[in-house]
Amino acid sequence: MRATVVGGGLAGSEAAWQLANRGVEVLLIEMRNHTPSPAHKTDKLGELVCSNSLGGAGINNASGLLKAELKRLNSLIMQAAELSRVPAGGALAVDRDLFSSYITEKIENHPLITVERREIEEIPDAPVVIASGPLTAPVLAEAIAKRLGKDSLHFFDAAAPVVSHESLDLNIVFPQSRYDKGDGVYLNCPMDKEQYLLFIEELLKGEGTHLHLEGEKNFFEGCLPIEILASRGVETLRFGPMKPVGLTDPRTGRRPYAVVQLRQDNAAGTLFNLVGFQNQLKFGEQKRIFSLIPGLEKAEFLRLGVMHQNTYLNSPTFLHPTLEWQDDIFFAGQLIGVEGYTESIAMGLIAGLNLARRLQGKELFLFPRTTMLGALSHYVCEAEAKHFQPINSNWGLLPPLDVNERIGKKEKERKRELLGERALRDLDAVKEI
Ligand SMILES: Cc1cc2nc3c(=O)[nH]c(=O)nc-3n(C[C@H](O)[C@H](O)[C@H](O)COP(=O)(O)OP(=O)(O)OC[C@H]3O[C@@H](n4cnc5c(N)ncnc54)[C@H](O)[C@@H]3O)c2cc1C
């Protein structure tokens, strides 16, 4: 049994490890030391490109739960993280050199793994896992787009914030589509003139990050950050994403002065995104300013807006939650539309495990949706394709607790504990992996 893995980052290294530990001979192809990447600084496998934190560590944290699941499945990268851990409060932070050195050593010394350093320019022959990451080299990106279709690949991450449905003030927020037309109902946060002007004023004062892209010239006109739209004139947003036309506030019977529309973000209806609210404000500023929106005063922000370069696939249009595209070709890592180190590792683990099962003649494995692994893999493959944006692990992805387990809205911590316990119980109950 043989397989190829493209990309020796977090996902590719994990996929190779999972394959090799199931008896598959792996050829891992990494371009660094032959062709540099725009962000990596070393030739090591599993290099962290930016922060040295892999996020929350405890299972009362969504990313922490994902880590607990990965550890149960003998994740190489989790092993490396534990061994190179540095103190960081509730987070799992690592000494980045120790971390990637450990991964490199384990991969290079595995008797079933061969590492080759070269740039791949076409999707290799199956069986293969492609995990070339958010900075996939342009020639390969073009080859993937050619095989999957021209709208299959996004090169730019313009994610709007996401809030949990249960944190909205439903006495203010009302459901309606413009002119009652179209598919799906939006939730609308109505604003009067005073609220709108205050919001614009605070938006213009908001501190930005502008980390990854410099200047307005880099943005697509149809996808501008809201603070840039606001800077073009006080009315610009009211004639753009915040236009109130075709909407009637049931509390007043009138059209609001402006609205913020929320669009359903997952099939369960537990997550909603703020339509057109991609932005480059600092996370703290986003929470402060967006909490001024009527109905969002107590909103729980499960993802905040970002804008940066990021190559990712429109996975809902072609990928299965087992992470197979077709005929033994699997995709993994950030490339499939997850966001973050731990999430990328998780998607490497699923692809590696499933390709190994395929080669062993076993049925591909679908992780239960109640686990963070299952919730994430289902989300990226089943979200609404038209508006698909990368996601990180968050509690809103998990199905609600059973009715007899439900607890009050205020007991957030207890609820997370129960969701975490359920996830690990359901994962432990799985016999086949
Ligand atoms: C600039 C930047 C900063 C980020 N900062 C953070 C952060 O602080 N925290 C966080 O949680 N997430 C961060 N991310 C997001 C993401 O979690 C990481 O990018 C993560 O490394 C993704 O893992 P991956 O395995 O999918 O991709 P990578 O770790 O990037 O691995 C992909 C590998 O494929 C190789 N490759 C690419 N094309 C080819 C080719 N054609 N042939 C052969 N090899 C190829 C690359 O050299 C690379 O080693 C950041 C992303 C970027 C781009």
The Å distance, Cα 32 to ligand 1 centre, comes to 12
For residue 330, the enclosing domain spans 2-159+309-428
Lookup result for tokens 């109130």? 244
Lookup: tokens for 100:
């990637």
Whether residue 380 is contained in a domain is answered as yes
Ligand 1 nearest atom to the CA of residue 343, by list position: 17
pLDDT of residue 222: 62
pLDDT of residue 219: 56
Ligand 1 probe mutation, 135, 306, 313, 336, most atoms within 8 A of CB: 135
The Å distance, Cα 130 to ligand 1 centre, comes to 12
How far apart are the C-alpha atoms of 6 and 352, rounded to whole Å?
12
Interior angle at CA 241, CA 235 and CA 246, nearest 5: 95
- 236 & 332 share domain: no
Closest residue by Cα to atom 19, ligand 1, is 134
- 370 & 405 share domain: yes
- 30 & 139 share domain: yes
How far apart are the C-alpha atoms of 199 and 229, rounded to whole Å?
13
Question: Ligand 1 within 6 A of 39 CB?
Answer: yes
- 148 & 263 share domain: no
Whether residue 192 is contained in a domain is answered as yes
**Contact by Cβ (8 Å): 104, 17:** no
Lookup result for tokens 């600092």? 282
- Of 304, 320, 349, which closes a domain? 304
The Å distance, Cα 310 to ligand 1 centre, comes to 9
CATH number, residue 87:
3.50.50.60
Q: How far is CA 431 from CA 92, 133, 350, 426, in A?
A: 29, 31, 16, 10
Q: Measure the N-to-C terminal CA separation of the chain; round to a whole number of Å.
A: 19
Helices (H), 41-179: 62-72, 76-83, 96-108, 138-148
How far apart are the C-alpha atoms of 107 and 42, rounded to whole Å?
16
- 57 & 99 share domain: yes
Closest residue by Cα to atom 35, ligand 1, is 7
Question: Ligand 1 within 6 A of 6 CB?
Answer: yes
| Burial of residue 125, with CB atoms counted within 10 A of its CB: 0-12 exposed, 13-18 middle, 19 or more buried | exposed
Nearest to 52 by CA among 339, 341, 308, 349: 341
Write b or e for each residue in 363-402: b if 16 or more Cβ atoms lie within 10 A of its Cβ, otherwise e. Answer: ebeebbbbbbbbbbbbbbbbbeeeebbbbbbbbbbbeeee
CA 243 vs. chain centroid, Å, equals: 28
- 99 & 242 share domain: no
CATH number, residue 254:
2.40.30
- 13 & 27 share domain: yes
Whether residue 80 is contained in a domain is answered as yes
- 185 & 264 share domain: yes
Output the pTM of the full model: 0.80
pLDDT of residue 409: 62
- The DSSP bridge partners found for residue 209 are none
Whether residue 433 is contained in a domain is answered as no
Ligand 1 nearest atom to the CA of residue 333, by list position: 26
The Å distance, Cα 294 to ligand 1 centre, comes to 38
- 264 & 350 share domain: no
Question: Ligand 1 within 6 A of 29 CB?
Answer: yes
Closest residue by Cα to atom 13, ligand 1, is 340
- Of 278, 304, 330, which closes a domain? 304
Whether residue 317 is contained in a domain is answered as yes
- Of 304, 325, 346, which closes a domain? 304
How far apart are the C-alpha atoms of 229 and 279, rounded to whole Å?
10
Whether residue 44 is contained in a domain is answered as yes
- 277 & 390 share domain: no
Nearest to 260 by CA among 293, 212, 231: 293
How far apart are the C-alpha atoms of 299 and 334, rounded to whole Å?
27
Question: Ligand 1 within 6 A of 390 CB?
Answer: no
**Contact by Cβ (8 Å): 320, 151:** no
Whether residue 114 is contained in a domain is answered as yes
Nearest to 392 by CA among 330, 329, 325, 345: 345
Q: How many domains does the chain have?
A: 2
How far apart are the C-alpha atoms of 401 and 409, rounded to whole Å?
12
Ligand 1 nearest atom to the CA of residue 334, by list position: 26
- 120 & 212 share domain: no
**pLDDT (tens digit, 0 to 9) for every residue of the chain, 433 residues total?**
999 999 999 999 999 999 999 999 999 999 999 999 888 889 999 999 888 889 999 898 999 999 999 999 999 999 999 999 988 878 898 899 999 999 999 999 999 999 999 999 999 999 999 999 999 999 999 999 999 987 888 887 777 899 999 999 999 999 998 888 765 679 999 999 999 999 999 999 998 865 444 444 445 556 788 999 999 999 999 999 999 999 999 999 999 999 999 988 777 888 898 999 999 899 999 999 999 999 999 999 998 988 877 899 999 999 999 999 999 999 999 999 999 999 999 999 999 999 999 999 999 999 999 999 999 999 999 998 988 888 999 999 999 988 766 677 668 888 899 999 999 999 999 988 8
The Å distance, Cα 418 to ligand 1 centre, comes to 33
**Contact by Cβ (8 Å): 383, 366:** no
Closest residue by Cα to atom 29, ligand 1, is 9
- 15 & 119 share domain: yes
Whether residue 404 is contained in a domain is answered as yes
The Å distance, Cα 379 to ligand 1 centre, comes to 20
Amino acid letter for position 90: G
Closest residue by Cα to atom 31, ligand 1, is 9
**CB-based contacts of 160: which residues, under 8 Å, 6+ apart?**
273, 274, 275, 276, 277, 278, 279, 305, 389
What is the maximum alpha-carbon separation in the chain?
71
